[in-house]
Structure 1
Amino acid sequence: MSLLERLLGEDTPDEQVDLEERQHEADDTLNGRIDTAEYGIDACAVTGIAVVNEGPDGEPIVVPIARFSLGEDVEEPDYDLVWELVGEGLNALQPALEGVFVRHYDIQFTFDGDELFEAEECRRVAVTPDLADTFVSDASFNTGALRDAMLDADDIDDEIAPVAWGESKNYSSTANAAIVTNGAAMAAGTSAGAASCAGAGAAGAGAAGGTCGGV
Protein backbone atom coordinates (compact mmCIF):
# COMPACT_ATOMS: atom_id res chain seq x y z
CA MET A 1 0.00 0.00 0.00
CA SER A 2 1.35 3.42 -0.95
CA LEU A 3 1.96 6.22 1.54
CA LEU A 4 -0.92 8.27 0.14
CA GLU A 5 -3.27 5.29 0.44
CA ARG A 6 -2.23 4.84 4.06
CA LEU A 7 -2.64 8.56 4.81
CA LEU A 8 -6.12 8.53 3.29
CA GLY A 9 -7.07 5.35 5.12
CA GLU A 10 -8.35 4.78 8.64
CA ASP A 11 -5.00 4.01 10.25
CA THR A 12 -2.47 6.57 11.48
CA PRO A 13 0.95 5.89 9.93
CA ASP A 14 4.12 7.17 11.57
CA GLU A 15 4.62 9.67 8.75
CA GLN A 16 1.28 11.27 9.59
CA VAL A 17 2.14 11.61 13.27
CA ASP A 18 5.48 13.22 12.38
CA LEU A 19 3.88 15.71 9.98
CA GLU A 20 1.15 16.59 12.50
CA GLU A 21 3.81 17.39 15.09
CA ARG A 22 5.71 19.52 12.59
CA GLN A 23 2.54 21.38 11.62
CA HIS A 24 1.78 22.13 15.26
CA GLU A 25 5.35 23.32 15.82
CA ALA A 26 5.15 25.66 12.83
CA ASP A 27 1.73 26.95 13.91
CA ASP A 28 3.00 27.67 17.42
CA THR A 29 5.98 29.52 15.95
CA LEU A 30 3.75 31.58 13.69
CA ASN A 31 1.48 32.44 16.62
CA GLY A 32 4.52 33.59 18.56
CA ARG A 33 5.83 35.76 15.72
CA ILE A 34 2.63 37.47 14.58
CA ASP A 35 0.65 40.16 16.37
CA THR A 36 -2.38 40.61 14.12
CA ALA A 37 -3.10 44.10 15.43
CA GLU A 38 0.46 45.22 14.72
CA TYR A 39 0.31 43.88 11.17
CA GLY A 40 -3.27 45.05 10.63
CA ILE A 41 -4.53 41.62 9.55
CA ASP A 42 -7.47 39.52 10.74
CA ALA A 43 -5.96 36.08 11.32
CA CYS A 44 -3.27 33.61 10.35
CA ALA A 45 -2.47 29.93 10.83
CA VAL A 46 -0.44 27.04 9.52
CA THR A 47 -3.49 25.33 8.08
CA GLY A 48 -2.00 22.04 6.93
CA ILE A 49 0.68 20.07 5.17
CA ALA A 50 -0.29 18.63 1.79
CA VAL A 51 1.34 15.30 0.94
CA VAL A 52 1.52 15.48 -2.84
CA ASN A 53 3.77 12.55 -3.75
CA GLU A 54 6.27 9.98 -2.51
CA GLY A 55 10.03 10.18 -2.84
CA PRO A 56 12.27 7.36 -4.14
CA ASP A 57 12.44 5.78 -0.67
CA GLY A 58 8.72 6.14 0.03
CA GLU A 59 9.16 9.34 2.03
CA PRO A 60 6.41 11.99 1.82
CA ILE A 61 6.87 14.91 -0.56
CA VAL A 62 5.00 17.80 0.99
CA VAL A 63 3.71 21.33 0.54
CA PRO A 64 3.42 23.13 3.91
CA ILE A 65 0.69 25.79 3.95
CA ALA A 66 0.50 29.03 5.94
CA ARG A 67 -2.50 31.28 5.42
CA PHE A 68 -3.05 34.95 6.27
CA SER A 69 -6.37 36.81 6.23
CA LEU A 70 -5.66 40.38 5.12
CA GLY A 71 -9.13 41.66 5.99
CA GLU A 72 -12.74 41.63 4.93
CA ASP A 73 -12.63 45.15 3.47
CA VAL A 74 -9.35 44.71 1.58
CA GLU A 75 -9.92 44.66 -2.18
CA GLU A 76 -6.31 45.26 -3.27
CA PRO A 77 -3.56 43.98 -0.95
CA ASP A 78 -0.61 46.03 0.26
CA TYR A 79 2.16 44.09 -1.47
CA ASP A 80 4.86 45.36 0.88
CA LEU A 81 2.83 43.81 3.70
CA VAL A 82 2.32 40.63 1.67
CA TRP A 83 6.07 40.10 1.35
CA GLU A 84 6.66 40.81 5.04
CA LEU A 85 4.12 38.09 5.83
CA VAL A 86 5.73 35.72 3.32
CA GLY A 87 8.91 36.11 5.35
CA GLU A 88 7.08 35.43 8.61
CA GLY A 89 5.48 32.34 7.10
CA LEU A 90 8.82 30.97 5.92
CA ASN A 91 10.43 31.62 9.31
CA ALA A 92 7.70 29.49 10.88
CA LEU A 93 7.52 26.71 8.26
CA GLN A 94 11.10 26.08 7.16
CA PRO A 95 12.66 25.16 10.53
CA ALA A 96 9.72 22.90 11.42
CA LEU A 97 10.09 20.99 8.12
CA GLU A 98 13.86 20.49 8.42
CA GLY A 99 14.79 17.12 6.93
CA VAL A 100 11.46 16.66 5.11
CA PHE A 101 11.21 16.48 1.31
CA VAL A 102 9.46 19.81 0.60
CA ARG A 103 8.26 20.48 -2.95
CA HIS A 104 7.63 24.13 -2.13
CA TYR A 105 6.12 26.34 0.58
CA ASP A 106 2.64 27.77 0.01
CA ILE A 107 2.02 31.15 1.66
CA GLN A 108 -1.65 31.93 1.03
CA PHE A 109 -3.55 35.20 1.40
CA THR A 110 -7.30 35.67 1.71
CA PHE A 111 -9.02 39.03 1.38
CA ASP A 112 -12.32 40.68 0.44
CA GLY A 113 -14.23 38.35 2.76
CA ASP A 114 -14.41 36.79 6.19
CA GLU A 115 -11.09 35.67 7.68
CA LEU A 116 -9.21 32.51 6.67
CA PHE A 117 -11.85 30.38 4.95
CA GLU A 118 -14.75 32.51 3.73
CA ALA A 119 -13.02 35.21 1.68
CA GLU A 120 -13.87 35.86 -1.94
CA GLU A 121 -10.23 36.17 -3.00
CA CYS A 122 -7.36 33.80 -2.30
CA ARG A 123 -3.85 34.12 -3.73
CA ARG A 124 -0.57 32.44 -2.99
CA VAL A 125 3.16 32.94 -3.07
CA ALA A 126 4.84 29.57 -3.71
CA VAL A 127 8.47 29.57 -2.59
CA THR A 128 11.03 26.97 -3.66
CA PRO A 129 13.00 25.19 -0.91
CA ASP A 130 16.33 26.69 -1.96
CA LEU A 131 15.01 30.26 -1.71
CA ALA A 132 13.29 29.48 1.60
CA ASP A 133 16.47 27.94 3.03
CA THR A 134 18.53 30.95 1.96
CA PHE A 135 16.02 33.42 3.38
CA VAL A 136 15.90 31.71 6.78
CA SER A 137 19.65 31.06 7.09
CA ASP A 138 21.22 34.16 5.50
CA ALA A 139 20.49 37.45 7.27
CA SER A 140 21.71 39.44 4.25
CA PHE A 141 19.04 37.80 2.06
CA ASN A 142 16.16 39.89 3.38
CA THR A 143 12.53 40.21 2.34
CA GLY A 144 13.39 42.59 -0.49
CA ALA A 145 16.01 40.19 -1.86
CA LEU A 146 13.54 37.31 -1.63
CA ARG A 147 10.89 39.30 -3.49
CA ASP A 148 13.36 40.27 -6.23
CA ALA A 149 14.56 36.67 -6.61
CA MET A 150 10.98 35.39 -6.78
CA LEU A 151 9.94 37.99 -9.36
CA ASP A 152 13.00 37.20 -11.49
CA ALA A 153 12.37 33.44 -11.38
CA ASP A 154 8.56 33.45 -11.77
CA ASP A 155 7.70 32.30 -15.30
CA ILE A 156 3.98 33.20 -14.99
CA ASP A 157 3.02 29.52 -14.54
CA ASP A 158 0.80 29.47 -11.44
CA GLU A 159 1.13 25.69 -11.12
CA ILE A 160 4.89 25.44 -10.53
CA ALA A 161 6.98 27.26 -7.92
CA PRO A 162 8.30 29.85 -7.78
CA VAL A 163 5.02 31.76 -8.00
CA ALA A 164 5.38 35.39 -6.95
CA TRP A 165 1.60 36.02 -6.86
CA GLY A 166 -0.94 33.61 -8.29
CA GLU A 167 -4.17 31.71 -7.79
CA SER A 168 -4.17 29.47 -4.73
CA LYS A 169 -4.05 25.76 -5.44
CA ASN A 170 -6.72 23.57 -3.87
CA TYR A 171 -4.80 20.45 -2.86
CA SER A 172 -7.89 18.93 -1.26
CA SER A 173 -9.53 18.65 -4.70
CA THR A 174 -6.67 16.48 -5.99
CA ALA A 175 -7.27 12.75 -5.81
CA ASN A 176 -3.58 11.90 -5.32
CA ALA A 177 -2.93 14.25 -2.39
CA ALA A 178 -3.66 14.08 1.33
CA ILE A 179 -3.86 16.98 3.78
CA VAL A 180 -2.34 16.36 7.21
CA THR A 181 -3.83 18.75 9.75
CA ASN A 182 -4.98 18.73 13.38
CA GLY A 183 -4.51 15.02 13.93
CA ALA A 184 -6.13 13.82 10.72
CA ALA A 185 -5.13 13.15 7.15
CA MET A 186 -8.21 14.13 5.19
CA ALA A 187 -9.26 13.03 1.74
CA ALA A 188 -10.21 15.41 -1.03
CA GLY A 189 -13.12 17.68 -0.25
CA THR A 190 -12.97 17.46 3.55
CA SER A 191 -9.88 19.51 4.38
CA ALA A 192 -9.77 23.27 4.30
CA GLY A 193 -6.04 23.39 4.91
CA ALA A 194 -5.67 24.15 1.22
CA ALA A 195 -9.28 24.71 0.25
CA SER A 196 -10.47 27.45 -2.02
CA CYS A 197 -11.52 30.57 -0.19
CA ALA A 198 -15.27 30.94 -0.48
CA GLY A 199 -17.41 28.06 0.66
CA ALA A 200 -14.95 26.31 2.97
CA GLY A 201 -17.29 27.04 5.85
CA ALA A 202 -17.41 24.81 8.90
CA ALA A 203 -14.96 22.32 7.44
CA GLY A 204 -12.43 25.12 7.22
CA ALA A 205 -12.93 26.20 10.79
CA GLY A 206 -12.47 22.66 12.03
CA ALA A 207 -9.36 21.93 10.01
CA ALA A 208 -7.44 25.10 10.69
CA GLY A 209 -4.55 25.29 13.07
CA GLY A 210 -4.43 27.93 15.79
CA THR A 211 -4.96 31.55 14.93
CA CYS A 212 -2.47 34.26 15.66
CA GLY A 213 -2.37 36.66 18.57
CA GLY A 214 -5.21 39.13 18.86
CA VAL A 215 -7.80 36.99 17.05
Structure 2
Amino acid sequence: MPSLLERLLGSDTPDEQVDLESRQNKADEALHEAVERGSYAVEDCGITGVAVVNEGPDGEPIVVPIARFSLGEDVEDPDQNLVWDLVGEAALAMQAPFDDVFVRHYDIQFTFDGDKLFEAEECRRVLLTDELVDRYATDAGFTLTDLRETVFAADDIDDEIAPVAWGECANYSQTNNAAIIVAGTTAAASASASAASCAGAGAAGGAGGTC
Protein backbone atom coordinates (compact mmCIF):
# COMPACT_ATOMS: atom_id res chain seq x y z
CA MET A 1 0.00 0.00 0.00
CA PRO A 2 1.40 3.46 -0.87
CA SER A 3 2.55 5.62 2.04
CA LEU A 4 0.65 8.74 3.04
CA LEU A 5 3.31 10.93 1.42
CA GLU A 6 3.10 8.96 -1.84
CA ARG A 7 -0.68 9.31 -1.87
CA LEU A 8 -0.51 13.05 -1.12
CA LEU A 9 1.90 13.58 -4.01
CA GLY A 10 0.02 11.29 -6.39
CA SER A 11 -2.51 12.21 -9.06
CA ASP A 12 -5.54 11.49 -6.87
CA THR A 13 -6.77 13.58 -3.93
CA PRO A 14 -6.72 11.42 -0.79
CA ASP A 15 -9.19 11.93 2.05
CA GLU A 16 -6.38 13.18 4.30
CA GLN A 17 -5.66 16.06 1.92
CA VAL A 18 -9.33 17.07 1.74
CA ASP A 19 -9.53 17.00 5.54
CA LEU A 20 -6.39 19.10 6.05
CA GLU A 21 -7.49 21.63 3.41
CA SER A 22 -10.79 22.06 5.24
CA ARG A 23 -8.99 22.60 8.54
CA GLN A 24 -6.62 25.10 6.91
CA ASN A 25 -9.52 27.10 5.49
CA LYS A 26 -11.36 27.18 8.83
CA ALA A 27 -8.23 28.41 10.62
CA ASP A 28 -7.63 31.01 7.90
CA GLU A 29 -11.15 32.38 8.26
CA ALA A 30 -10.79 32.56 12.04
CA LEU A 31 -7.45 34.35 11.75
CA HIS A 32 -8.80 37.00 9.39
CA GLU A 33 -11.80 37.62 11.61
CA ALA A 34 -9.49 38.08 14.61
CA VAL A 35 -7.11 40.44 12.78
CA GLU A 36 -9.97 42.55 11.47
CA ARG A 37 -11.64 42.62 14.88
CA GLY A 38 -8.41 43.70 16.56
CA SER A 39 -7.52 46.26 13.85
CA TYR A 40 -3.92 45.07 13.92
CA ALA A 41 -1.32 46.96 11.89
CA VAL A 42 -0.41 44.21 9.43
CA GLU A 43 -0.34 44.35 5.64
CA ASP A 44 -1.26 40.75 4.96
CA CYS A 45 -1.79 37.46 6.74
CA GLY A 46 -3.01 33.92 6.27
CA ILE A 47 -2.77 30.27 7.18
CA THR A 48 -0.51 29.69 4.20
CA GLY A 49 -0.12 25.93 4.34
CA VAL A 50 -0.01 22.69 6.28
CA ALA A 51 3.25 20.76 6.11
CA VAL A 52 2.83 16.98 6.40
CA VAL A 53 6.18 16.08 7.93
CA ASN A 54 5.69 12.44 8.88
CA GLU A 55 3.21 9.58 9.19
CA GLY A 56 2.04 8.01 12.45
CA PRO A 57 1.94 4.26 13.16
CA ASP A 58 -1.67 4.03 11.97
CA GLY A 59 -1.07 6.13 8.85
CA GLU A 60 -2.29 9.39 10.38
CA PRO A 61 -0.56 12.59 9.20
CA ILE A 62 1.85 14.43 11.48
CA VAL A 63 1.54 18.08 10.54
CA VAL A 64 2.86 21.61 11.00
CA PRO A 65 0.18 24.29 10.44
CA ILE A 66 1.79 27.51 9.17
CA ALA A 67 0.54 31.05 9.81
CA ARG A 68 2.25 34.05 8.24
CA PHE A 69 1.98 37.81 8.80
CA SER A 70 3.44 40.60 6.68
CA LEU A 71 4.41 43.48 8.96
CA GLY A 72 5.33 45.87 6.13
CA GLU A 73 8.22 46.97 3.97
CA ASP A 74 9.14 49.91 6.22
CA VAL A 75 9.49 47.76 9.35
CA GLU A 76 13.08 46.87 10.23
CA ASP A 77 12.69 46.12 13.94
CA PRO A 78 9.25 44.61 14.65
CA ASP A 79 7.33 45.68 17.74
CA GLN A 80 7.51 42.55 19.89
CA ASN A 81 4.28 43.40 21.70
CA LEU A 82 2.49 43.39 18.32
CA VAL A 83 4.29 40.18 17.36
CA TRP A 84 3.05 38.41 20.47
CA ASP A 85 -0.48 39.77 20.12
CA LEU A 86 -0.48 38.18 16.66
CA VAL A 87 1.05 34.96 18.00
CA GLY A 88 -1.86 34.73 20.40
CA GLU A 89 -4.43 35.32 17.65
CA ALA A 90 -2.79 32.74 15.38
CA ALA A 91 -2.68 30.18 18.19
CA LEU A 92 -6.38 30.64 18.91
CA ALA A 93 -7.29 30.52 15.21
CA MET A 94 -5.43 27.26 14.60
CA GLN A 95 -6.13 25.37 17.83
CA ALA A 96 -9.73 24.31 17.24
CA PRO A 97 -9.40 23.23 13.58
CA PHE A 98 -6.30 21.13 14.35
CA ASP A 99 -7.29 19.99 17.85
CA ASP A 100 -7.72 16.31 16.94
CA VAL A 101 -4.77 16.11 14.52
CA PHE A 102 -1.24 15.06 15.49
CA VAL A 103 0.57 18.43 15.39
CA ARG A 104 4.37 18.43 15.64
CA HIS A 105 4.32 22.16 16.33
CA TYR A 106 2.67 25.38 15.14
CA ASP A 107 4.81 27.66 12.96
CA ILE A 108 3.91 31.38 13.15
CA GLN A 109 5.98 33.45 10.73
CA PHE A 110 6.56 37.19 10.36
CA THR A 111 7.93 38.88 7.26
CA PHE A 112 9.16 42.47 7.28
CA ASP A 113 11.53 44.92 5.60
CA GLY A 114 9.84 44.10 2.30
CA ASP A 115 6.45 43.81 0.62
CA LYS A 116 3.79 41.09 0.95
CA LEU A 117 3.87 37.65 2.55
CA PHE A 118 6.52 36.08 0.33
CA GLU A 119 8.61 38.99 -0.95
CA ALA A 120 10.10 40.47 2.23
CA GLU A 121 13.80 40.66 3.02
CA GLU A 122 13.40 39.28 6.53
CA CYS A 123 11.44 36.36 7.96
CA ARG A 124 11.37 35.25 11.59
CA ARG A 125 9.16 32.73 13.31
CA VAL A 126 7.75 31.66 16.65
CA LEU A 127 7.27 27.92 17.16
CA LEU A 128 4.70 26.72 19.68
CA THR A 129 4.18 23.17 20.90
CA ASP A 130 0.76 21.59 20.63
CA GLU A 131 0.55 21.49 24.43
CA LEU A 132 1.21 25.23 24.79
CA VAL A 133 -1.39 26.13 22.16
CA ASP A 134 -3.98 23.88 23.79
CA ARG A 135 -3.29 25.37 27.21
CA TYR A 136 -3.48 28.95 25.94
CA ALA A 137 -6.75 28.27 24.13
CA THR A 138 -8.47 26.39 26.95
CA ASP A 139 -7.02 27.69 30.24
CA ALA A 140 -8.29 31.20 31.02
CA GLY A 141 -5.64 31.54 33.73
CA PHE A 142 -2.80 31.03 31.24
CA THR A 143 -2.47 34.47 29.69
CA LEU A 144 -0.59 35.72 26.64
CA THR A 145 2.09 37.03 29.00
CA ASP A 146 2.38 33.54 30.51
CA LEU A 147 2.67 32.02 27.04
CA ARG A 148 5.37 34.48 26.02
CA GLU A 149 7.39 33.97 29.21
CA THR A 150 7.09 30.18 28.95
CA VAL A 151 8.36 30.17 25.37
CA PHE A 152 11.32 32.42 26.19
CA ALA A 153 12.21 30.30 29.23
CA ALA A 154 12.10 27.03 27.26
CA ASP A 155 13.78 28.29 24.06
CA ASP A 156 17.32 27.09 23.43
CA ILE A 157 19.78 27.49 20.56
CA ASP A 158 17.98 25.01 18.28
CA ASP A 159 15.61 26.93 15.97
CA GLU A 160 14.10 23.67 14.66
CA ILE A 161 12.60 22.37 17.91
CA ALA A 162 9.63 24.08 19.56
CA PRO A 163 9.28 26.23 21.50
CA VAL A 164 11.23 28.92 19.65
CA ALA A 165 10.82 32.59 20.60
CA TRP A 166 12.25 34.33 17.50
CA GLY A 167 14.04 32.07 15.05
CA GLU A 168 14.92 31.94 11.37
CA CYS A 169 12.08 30.83 9.11
CA ALA A 170 12.32 27.37 7.57
CA ASN A 171 11.38 26.47 4.01
CA TYR A 172 9.41 23.24 4.26
CA SER A 173 9.68 22.78 0.50
CA GLN A 174 13.35 21.96 1.06
CA THR A 175 12.64 19.34 3.72
CA ASN A 176 13.08 15.69 2.79
CA ASN A 177 10.06 13.41 3.09
CA ALA A 178 7.42 16.09 3.48
CA ALA A 179 4.49 17.47 1.52
CA ILE A 180 3.02 20.97 1.68
CA ILE A 181 -0.76 21.25 1.39
CA VAL A 182 -1.76 24.68 0.15
CA ALA A 183 -5.44 25.33 -0.66
CA GLY A 184 -6.23 22.59 -3.11
CA THR A 185 -2.75 21.47 -4.14
CA THR A 186 0.08 19.43 -2.67
CA ALA A 187 3.66 20.54 -3.30
CA ALA A 188 6.50 18.05 -3.10
CA ALA A 189 9.25 18.76 -0.62
CA SER A 190 11.72 18.74 -3.49
CA ALA A 191 10.04 21.77 -5.10
CA SER A 192 12.13 24.89 -5.49
CA ALA A 193 11.88 27.72 -2.99
CA SER A 194 10.32 29.99 -5.60
CA ALA A 195 7.68 27.40 -6.46
CA ALA A 196 6.85 26.97 -2.80
CA SER A 197 6.48 30.72 -2.42
CA CYS A 198 4.08 30.89 -5.35
CA ALA A 199 2.10 27.99 -3.96
CA GLY A 200 1.92 29.63 -0.55
CA ALA A 201 0.81 32.94 -1.99
CA GLY A 202 -1.89 31.16 -3.94
CA ALA A 203 -3.04 29.43 -0.80
CA ALA A 204 -3.34 32.69 1.06
CA GLY A 205 -5.36 34.21 -1.76
CA GLY A 206 -7.51 31.14 -2.27
CA ALA A 207 -8.36 30.95 1.41
CA GLY A 208 -9.08 34.63 1.78
CA GLY A 209 -5.51 35.44 2.71
CA THR A 210 -5.53 39.23 2.54
CA CYS A 211 -6.14 41.19 5.72
TM range (shorter): over 0.9
Report what 2:28 is aligned to. 27
Give the RMSD, CA atoms, in angstroms.
1.8
* 2:150 aligned partner, one-letter code: A
Deviation, structure 1 residue 50:
0.3
Report what 2:173 is aligned to. 172
- Any gaps of 5 or more consecutive residues in structure 2? none
What is the distance in 2 between the residues matched to 1:36 and 1:109?
Answer: 20
Secondary structure of the equivalent of 1:53?
A: strand
Report what 1:90 is aligned to. 91
Report what 2:6 is aligned to. 5
Deviation, structure 1 residue 190:
6.0
Report what 2:61 is aligned to. 60
What is the distance in 1 between the residues matched to 2:84 and 2:48?
Answer: 19
TM-score (normalised: structure 1): 0.91
TM-score (normalised: structure 2): 0.93
Aligned residues: 207
Aligned residue runs from structure 1 range 195-210, under 5 A: 200=197, 202-208=198-204, 209-210=207-208
What is the distance in 1 between the residues matched to 2:65 and 2:194?
Answer: 13
* 2:59 aligned partner, one-letter code: G
Secondary structure of the equivalent of 1:34?
A: helix
Secondary structure of the equivalent of 1:26?
A: helix
What is the distance in 1 between the residues matched to 2:17 and 2:5?
Answer: 10
Deviation, structure 1 residue 165:
0.7
| Displaced runs of 4 or more, over 3 A | 190-193
Secondary structure of the equivalent of 1:20?
A: helix
Taking a change above 3 Å as real, the CA distance of residues 165 and 2 of structure 1, as seen in their structure-2 partners, is same
Deviation, structure 1 residue 186:
1.2
CA deviation vs aligned residue, 1:51-102 (integer Å, no higher than 9, x gap):
0000111100000000000111000110011000000001110101011000
Deviation, structure 1 residue 156:
1.8
- Any gaps of 5 or more consecutive residues in structure 1? none
Aligned residue runs from structure 1 range 180-195, under 5 A: 180-188=181-189, 189=191
Percent identity of the aligned residues? 63
What is the distance in 2 between the residues matched to 1:142 and 1:191?
Answer: 36
What is the distance in 2 between the residues matched to 1:178 and 1:94?
Answer: 21
What is the distance in 1 between the residues matched to 2:200 and 2:66?
Answer: 14
What is the distance in 1 between the residues matched to 2:41 and 2:136?
Answer: 24
Secondary structure of the equivalent of 2:114?
A: strand
* 2:132 aligned partner, one-letter code: L
